[in-house]
Chain A
């Protein structure tokens, strides 16, 4: 697939590994019937599929080799996430990646091994309220909005005393169904076993960026369906794609997708090329703000361009909109990330 937005901001080696990941992921993440069947089930995802994905190395993709991962960069991670989004994969690969990065940093090996093997579903419970990018470190605070929490085997809870682990069997957990057929969990404080120190910030940024890429993949897929529809549906004796009003809307969708791709890949390349701290966070914020907002706009417009059929549950375009409704605010929505971008980014960022 050629990058319509021009030359991707990464080198030949990365392009090659990204291509391989894309092919491998596409082969394992494109079964919409499976995705439909899992919606609104107890866990919202399949444990065996999760294990299979772990065995393909997806959870450990960006985890250092020394800790048992593949040691690949953000370009590879966003490429994988994009394919997951294209296929609407419900297995919590991105939240598990966040946990793997934190466990690796803390030097914990046993649970990390199980996580990378797909034997454990470890989810990080970092936020104590809606609309924040700052992890709570209060061991007494209830943790909220834990994606796919109903299927967790362990929770990872950052506290001032270090990274705490709580087996799901001991957890006081409530889950609520989400628009995409998954769930969000609320976890009351428990007796955490501390497994070492880790700074959640950089790993949360990686999860936010991967989520942006997931949303990007979803936009691409919904748009491809919509274009196909514009090229076949007839009204007034014409293919509706010949109507300029619809052509211009389609172009607007295309532009949003191009901007999202440019922003996501620039952030990934920036981090791979050494951006850290505030510089990395500013890149991530720009990408996640774009992806969060664009995924909603694109989802809405794809429904509109599909007409009545776009508003049926049987038609896949709606699945992408419902996914965007759920994921756009996770790891920070557009407004939150824009505000952080303005706080972090020097005016000379693009000098």
Chain B
């Protein structure tokens, strides 16, 4: 194990996978703020930023970004290991829309100026991003969105409303899909715009969700003036870029991290409730466990596609279906074995690892956000299976 001591981030890709795992594990255990372990709800920026800055300082904030942009340039298997280790330790998910969504999009479609300006500010935490896609009447049918941007001199004037904007109240920047050509076919009149949340005319209103948490927001735009230079890519080509980003999103949402976290908590809960001796539970647990391993194998294949520089096909939707539905089944099992404890709002005995109701509720929207399970099945039926309709 002497190879592990004193290893520098530059060497991470050179390590074999198990050594890499131990390096990551050791560093997380030594550096993760203990009070932030296993947060019962998604943390706000002011709560989670100590960890964000710690990762940034170490250079580990963006494991998937290429090194030239400040990422770790990790290979796909190591990215999975990295994620597994974060989940294992119960690390909070940070305000990561810049890291997961916008960064990869800018790296692919942004101008050199945009990359130079925005990427370092994600790495430093100066810009905290949120994603403005969904609208009240444009959820599953996202392409019908109506928030408009009209060019007036050197500025776009934005009017409309976004909804389900995760942690918008924490963000100081938002990336938006806006309608720039109302006369074109719905997918062909959409552009991608970067907007400073401090611009006059923006109002953020948190929505209390089923978790009794203000994670999602409505964002209103009333004659918001945005510099023309904040357009990413070509005018009216925003939909194609967003679609490319949605495949990033689907592979992220399809990553086994939520199921990994839940499965570990199910095990702890099952030990607490003493149900491992129950053959019926043992059977259920074995099924969940093998489903999880199969999910990891499936995930690995998609990561391999990315590793080869190929783009993901429509079939990546199945990954999101499998992950979200497995996450839900794990938490449903947690509820079933908890008996009356399932009724309690707070973790059992103050132990955040024993939080059946909290995790059960958290699992509910995963088959809704990022494209519902029904929409993902439609995509596969139409674009993969070639079924008519």
Are A and B subunits of one complex? yes
CA distance A322 to B210 in the complex (A): 8
Residue of B nearest to A127 (CB): B340
CA distance A346 to B256 in the complex (A): 45
Q: How far apart are B362's CB and chain A's nearest CB, in angstroms?
A: 10
A166 CB–B CB distance under 8 Å: no
Choose among B137, B164, B364, B367 the residue with the greatest number of A CB atoms under 10 Å from its CB.
B364
| A 279-327 contacts with B by CB, 8 A | 296, 300, 303-304, 307-308, 310-314, 318, 321-322, 325-327
Q: How far apart are A324's CB and chain B's nearest CB, in angstroms?
A: 10
B230 CB–A CB distance under 8 Å: no
* B139: chain A residues within 8 A (beta carbon): 235, 307-308
**Given contacts A178-B343, A235-B139, A312-B209, are A325 and B335 in contact (CB under 8 A)?**
yes
B346 touches A176 (CB 8 A): yes
* B342: chain A residues within 8 A (beta carbon): 325-326, 328-329, 333
* A246: chain B residues within 8 A (beta carbon): 374
Residue of B nearest to A132 (CB): B339
Q: A177's contact among B134, B144, B207, B346, by CB below 8 Å, is which?
A: B346
Q: How far apart are A244's CB and chain B's nearest CB, in angstroms?
A: 10
Interface string of B117-158 (1 = CB under 8 A from A): 000000000000000001001111100100000000000000
B210 touches A184 (CB 8 A): no
CA distance A85 to B368 in the complex (A): 27
B336 CB–A CB distance under 8 Å: yes
Q: A311's contact among B346, B360, B365, by CB below 8 Å, is which?
A: B365
B84 CB–A CB distance under 8 Å: no
B343 touches A329 (CB 8 A): yes
* A325: chain B residues within 8 A (beta carbon): 335, 342-343, 357, 360
Q: How far apart are B64's CB and chain A's nearest CB, in angstroms?
A: 28
A177 touches B368 (CB 8 A): no
* A145: chain B residues within 8 A (beta carbon): 340, 343
* A304: chain B residues within 8 A (beta carbon): 364, 367-368, 372-373
* B290: chain A residues within 8 A (beta carbon): none
Q: How far apart are A142's CB and chain B's nearest CB, in angstroms?
A: 14
A107 CB–B CB distance under 8 Å: no
Interface size on A, residues (CB 8 A): 42
A307 touches B140 (CB 8 A): yes
B306 CB–A CB distance under 8 Å: no
CA distance A200 to B365 in the complex (A): 41
B164 touches A308 (CB 8 A): yes
**Given contacts A308-B139, A308-B368, A313-B212, are A243 and B374 in contact (CB under 8 A)?**
yes
B378 CB–A CB distance under 8 Å: yes
Q: How far apart are A319's CB and chain B's nearest CB, in angstroms?
A: 9
* A114: chain B residues within 8 A (beta carbon): none
* B140: chain A residues within 8 A (beta carbon): 235-236, 307
* A303: chain B residues within 8 A (beta carbon): 210, 364, 368
* B163: chain A residues within 8 A (beta carbon): 308
CA distance A184 to B339 in the complex (A): 13
B137 touches A131 (CB 8 A): no
Q: B208's contact among A130, A144, A313, by CB below 8 Å, is which?
A: A313
Residue of A nearest to B215 (CB): A311
Q: How far apart are A297's CB and chain B's nearest CB, in angstroms?
A: 9
* B216: chain A residues within 8 A (beta carbon): 308, 312
Chain B residues within CB distance 8 Å of chain A:
134, 137-141, 144, 163-164, 207-210, 212, 216, 273, 280, 328, 332, 335-336, 338-346, 357, 360-361, 364-365, 367-369, 372-374, 377-378
Chain A residues within CB distance 8 Å of chain B:
127, 130-131, 144-145, 176-180, 184, 234-237, 243, 245-246, 296, 300, 303-304, 307-308, 310-314, 318, 321-322, 325-330, 333-336
Leading 4 A-B pairs by shortest Cβ distance: A131-B339, A326-B343, A130-B339, A235-B141
